[in-house]
Amino acid sequence: MNDFLTLSTGQRMPVVGLGTWKSAPGQVKQAVLAALDCGVGSGKALRREDVFVTSKLWNTKHDPEDVEEACRTSLAHLGLSYLDLYLIHWPMAFQRGKELMPRRDDGSICYSDTHYRDTWAAMESLVDKGLVKAIGLSNFNARQMDDIISRARHAPVVNQVECHPYLSQADLLSYCRSVAVCVTAYSPLGSGDRPWAAPDDRILLTDPRLAAIAQRYQKTPAQVVLRWHVQRGVVCIPKSVTPSRIQQNLQVLDFSLSEDDMKLLESFNCNQRLIVPAVERDGKRVWRDAEHPHFPFNDPY
């Protein structure tokens, strides 16, 4: 098992990265430094090519006129001259402008009818200009991916989607394999710190079935889950601001899970999406963007 996976562009992408969503501004810098220390070694001079940096294009920046500026803004914030990978965050476009969540008076989101196909063409120009080494997708379903791939000059190299044992994504994974798109698992540990977690929600990392497997390998539950991801060819980006966990999460290449345990983890699947933005409507919790014509999760995968 290698530390890297080769993308369709020939770039080498680490199989385990670091996620930063929810990391407080005061914590994210030391988390990144801790992760870099694990990867490169403390105090060693770090070259730009030693690090793989991914960022995403937000929903209000889908208009082809806005894509380059949005990318340049991210580059400026990061102090970089190029990104290794730039993703369209969601297939749905929101109304253009400075507001990240443009809303009407009644609280509903103002959508835009910009098609992700047109956004993709603008993303391709970023590769031509050398601002990004590769481009990809996030939260796209197989039909939408196919729509892009069939027209692309630069094919998407990655689809970053929610994936963990409670949402194993077997069908999307096999589609992605067939078109040479790497799947990156977001919320790979089940996102226990997601802000909308309800007190009675099941927590993946404390699932007793997982604890039993972890005990057999003398590994932590998180290491077993991350190992499951990489062993099925999925890149993962666990978030942590805790240095000991950051280190632990990168140590998943020195053991392997038996075929039976891989299947056992696969059997946890209950197609449970934890990360879809939801709102209260008529007393019921519903997916906020389900009516958007490009909402991805109305398709089975």
DSSP H helices, 25-158, are 25-40, 64-78, 116-128, 142-149
Q: Is 77 annotated as a binding residue?
A: no
Is 8 near ligand NAP (CB under 6 A)?
Answer: no
Least distance to ligand NAP, CB of residue 283, Å:
27
Which one of 35-43, 112-120, 182-190, 257-265 is the stretch in contact with ligand NAP (CB under 6 A)? 182-190
Give the 3-state secondary structure of residue 60: helix
Least distance to ligand NAP, CB of residue 247, Å:
9
Is 138 near ligand NAP (CB under 6 A)?
Answer: yes
Token pair, residue 294, equals 């490009």
Of 133 and 164, CB closest to ligand NAP: 164
Percent of residues in the chain assigned helix, strand, coil, to nearest 5: 35, 15, 45
Is 187 near ligand NAP (CB under 6 A)?
Answer: yes
Contact characters 70-109, ligand NAP, x per CB under 6 A: -------------------x--------------------
Of 61 and 245, CB closest to ligand NAP: 245
Is 275 near ligand NAP (CB under 6 A)?
Answer: yes
Cite the beta strand spans of the chain per DSSP E. 4-6, 12-14, 54-57, 85-88, 135-138, 158-162, 182-186, 235-236, 278-281, 284-287
Is 240 near ligand NAP (CB under 6 A)?
Answer: yes
CA 36, CA 13: separation in Å to the nearest integer? 15
Which position among 55, 74, 139, 231 is part of the footprint of ligand NAP (CB under 6 A)?
A: 139
Which position among 189, 213, 235, 265 is part of the footprint of ligand NAP (CB under 6 A)?
A: 189
Among 238, 281, 243, residue whose Cα is nearest residue 20: 238
Which position among 238, 250, 261, 294 is part of the footprint of ligand NAP (CB under 6 A)?
A: 238
CB 116 within 8 A of CB 96: no
Least distance to ligand NAP, CB of residue 73, Å:
18
Of 22 and 177, CB closest to ligand NAP: 22
CA 192, CA 98: separation in Å to the nearest integer? 31
Cα separation of the two ends of the chain: 28
139: left (phi over 0), alpha (psi -120 to 50) or beta: left
Of 75 and 237, CB closest to ligand NAP: 237
Of 138 and 169, CB closest to ligand NAP: 138
Contacts with ligand NAP by CB under 6 A: the residue count is: 30
Token pair, residue 127, equals 């590769």
Least distance to ligand NAP, CB of residue 297, Å:
12
Among 150, 86, 88, residue whose Cα is nearest residue 114: 88
What Cα–Cα distance (Å) separates residue 136 from each residue in 33, 127, 144?
A: 26, 11, 12
Binding-site residue ranges: 89
Question: Interface residues with ligand NAP (CB under 6 A)?
Answer: 19-22, 89, 138-139, 160, 186-194, 205, 220, 222, 237-242, 245, 248-249, 275
